[in-house]
Amino acid sequence: MPGRRLIAAVYVKDPATHEDLILRPGQSPSPEIAALVTNPDAWDSPLDADVEPETIAVGEPDPTAGTAEPDPGPGDAGGVGTKKPPSRRTRSTTT
């Protein structure tokens, strides 16, 4: 995988020597060591060079966007909503 470089520091364990390795941004590790880097965000390019990036369509806004009626609030249910029940506390009488 020539040309594949890291864009983040990565810590891996060398399978042959069992030493902790620090791979720094800009390095192109050997294929054996590169296989240990499982986070795709650590690389500057995708795994397969043949895969094209996903195309995002940019164009006219959706004509139906924003035409839905706003959701009624808790008190705007057309007079059909439930009301809060009265408090069950009894009033203390003072003498």
34, 21 in Cβ contact below 8 A? Answer: no
Q: What is the DSSP letter of 6?
A: B
| Per-residue pLDDT tens digits of the chain, which is 95 residues long | 455 899 999 999 998 899 999 999 999 999 999 999 999 999 997 655 555 555 555 666 666 666 556 555 555 555 566 777 777 777 776 66
For the full predicted model, state whether its pTM sits above 0.75: no
Element counts in the chain: helices (H) and strands (E): 1, 2
